[in-house]
Structure 1
Amino acid sequence: MQTLLNDIKQVVGPSGLLTGDDVTQRSVDWLSGERCRAGAIVRPADTEQLAAIMTLCHDAAQPVVTHGGLTGLVHGGRAAPDELVISLERMTAIEDIDHVGATMTVQAGVPLQRVQEAAAAADLQFPLDLGARGSCTIGGNIATNAGGNRVIRYGMMRQQVLGLEAVLADGSVISSLNHMLKNNAGYDLKQLFIGSEGTLGIVTRAVLKLQPRMTSEQTALVATPSFAALTHLLGLMRQRLGGQLSAFEVMWQSHYRLLTVDSGRHSPPLPAEHPYYVIVESQGTDAEQDASRFNQALEAASEQGLISDAVLAQSSAQRQAIWAIREDVDGLIESLSPLFTFDVSLPIPDMQDYVDTLQAGLAERWPHGRMVVFGHLGDGNLHISIGIGSNDTDMRQAVEQLVYAPLAPLGGSVSAEHGIGLEKRDYLGLSRTPQEIALMRTLKQALDPKHLLNRHKVLG
Structure 2
Amino acid sequence: MTEASTISNAGNELIETLRALVGDGGVLTGETVSSRYPGYFMDRIEADAIIRPRTTEEVAGILKLCNAAGQPVVVQGGMSGWVRATQTKPGDIVISLERMAAIEAIDPVNRTATVQAGVVLDTLENALADHGLTFPLDLGGRGSCQLGGNASTNAGGMRVIRYGMMRDQVLGVEAVLADGRIISSLNQMIKNNTGYDLKQLFIGSEGTLGVITRLVLRLRERPTSCNTAIVCAQRFDQMVSLLRHVDQGFGGMLSAYELIDNSFFVVNTGNGSHAAPLPGDRPYYAIIEMLGSNQERDAEMFETVLGKAAELGYFDDAVLASSEAQRQQIWSIREDLEHVVREFQPFYAFDVSLPVGDMERYISEVTSRLKARWPEGKIAFLGHMGDGNLHIAIGAGGPDDRHAVEECVYEPLRPIGGSISAEHGIGLEKKSWLDVSRTAEECGLMSEIKRLLDPGNILNPGKIMDLHP
TM-score by length of 2: 0.96
Kindly indicate whether residue 354 of structure 2 is the aligned counterpart of residue 333 of structure 1.
no
Give the residue type in structure 2 aligned to 1:380: G
| Shift in Å, 1:242 | 2.4
Return the offset for 1:28.
2.9
Q: Does 1:134 align with 2:143?
A: yes
Once the two structures are superposed, what CA deviation does each residue of 1:396-452 show, in whole Å capped at 9, x if it has no partner? 000001110110111100000000000100111110111111111111010000000
1:2-31 C-alpha deviation (Å, 9 max, x unpaired) = 110010000111110000001110243223
**2:279 is the alignment partner of 1:271:** yes
Q: Does 1:22 align with 2:32?
A: yes
1:303 aligns with 2:311: yes
Q: Secondary structure at the match of 2:401?
A: helix
The answer (yes or no) to whether the contact 2:356–2:385 under 8 Å persists in 1 is yes
Aligned partners of 1:338 and 1:387 also within 8 Å: yes
Q: Distance in 1 between matches of 2:76 and 2:443?
A: 25
> Which residue is 1:159 aligned to?
168
SS in 2 for 1:81: coil
2:116 pairs, out of 107, 110, 115, with: 107
Question: 1:264 and 1:240 mapped to 2: Cα distance?
Answer: 37
Which residues of 2 match residues 17-166 of structure 1 at below 5 A? 17-32=27-42, 34-166=43-175
Give the counterpart letter for 1:420 in structure 2.
I
**Residues of 2 paired with 1:295 and 1:264: CA distance?**
32
Q: Secondary structure at the match of 1:229?
A: helix
For 2:455, what is the secondary structure of its paired residue?
A: coil
What amino acid maps onto 1:334 in structure 2?
R
What CA distance in whole angstroms lies between the structure 2 residues aligned with 1:331 and 1:165?
40
List 4+ stretches of structure 1 deviating above 6 A.
Answer: none
Distance 1:337 1:323 in 2: 24
1:182 aligns with 2:191: yes
Partners in 2 of 1:196 and 1:257 — Cα distance?
37
Asked whether the 8 Å contact 1:39–1:81 carries over to 2, the reply is yes
Which runs of structure 2 are paired with 1:187-206 in the superposition (5 Å)? 187-206=196-215
Q: 1:450 aligns with which of 442, 452, 456?
A: 456
Residue 395 of structure 1: aligned partner: 401
CA offsets, 1:120-175, max 9 Å, x none?
Answer: 22110110000110000101100000000000000000011000100110011000
* Partners of 1:132 and 1:411 in 2: CA distance: 29
Amino acid at match of 2:78: G
CA distance in 1, matches of 2:340, 2:36: 23
1:12 corresponds to: 22
Tell me which residue corresponds to 1:312: 320
CA distance in 1, matches of 2:397, 2:54: 44
Cα distance between partner residues in 2 of 1:17 and 1:216: 46
Inter-partner Cα distance in structure 1 for 2:452 and 2:345: 42
Specify which of 263, 266, 282 is matched with residue 257 of structure 1. 266
Distance 1:118 1:188 in 2: 29
Query: Whole-Å Cα distance in 1 between the matches of residues 37 and 311 of structure 2?
Result: 51
Q: Distance in 2 between matches of 1:177 and 1:126?
A: 17
What are the ranges of 5 or more consecutive residues in structure 2 without an aligned counterpart? 1-10
Partner secondary structure for residue 232 of structure 1 = helix
Any idea what the Cα deviations from partners look like across 1:192-248, whole Å, max 9, x if unmatched?
000000000000000000000110000001112210111000010111012100000
**Residues 396, 405 of structure 2: 8 Å contact kept:** no
* Contact 1:225/1:306 (<8 A) preserved: no
CA apart distance, 1:337? 3.1
Give the AA of the match of 1:363: K
Who is 2:8 aligned against?
A: none
Q: Retained in 1: the 8 A contact 2:113–2:218?
A: yes
Cα deviations by residue, 1:19-76 (Å, 9 ceiling, x for unpaired): 00011102432235x2100011111111111111111101111110010000000011
Task: Give the drift of 1:389.
Answer: 5.4
Taking the TM superposition and a 5 Å limit, the aligned residue runs for 1:214-233 are: 214-233=223-242
Structure 2 residue aligned with 1:235: 244
Aligned-residue identity in percent? 53
* Structure 1 counterpart of 2:425, one-letter code: G
Distance 1:436 1:226 in 2: 38
Q: Give the conservation status (yes or no) of the 8 Å contact 1:29–1:75.
A: no
In the alignment, the residues of structure 2 paired with residue 457 and residue 35 of structure 1 have an alpha-carbon distance, to the nearest angstrom, of 17
Structure 2 CA distance for aligned equivalents of residues 310 and 389 of structure 1: 36
Which 5+ residue runs of structure 1 have no aligned equivalent? Answer: none
Tell me by how many angstroms 1:119 deviates: 1.6
Letter in 1 for 2:379: M
Partner-residue secondary structure (3-state), 1:82? coil
Cα distance in 2 for partners of 1:64, 1:119 equals 33
Give the aligned residue type for 1:23: V
Q: Is 1:173 equivalent to 2:182 in the alignment?
A: yes
Q: CA deviation at 1:353?
A: 1.1
Across the aligned residues of Structure 1 and Structure 2, the Cα RMSD in angstroms comes to 0.9
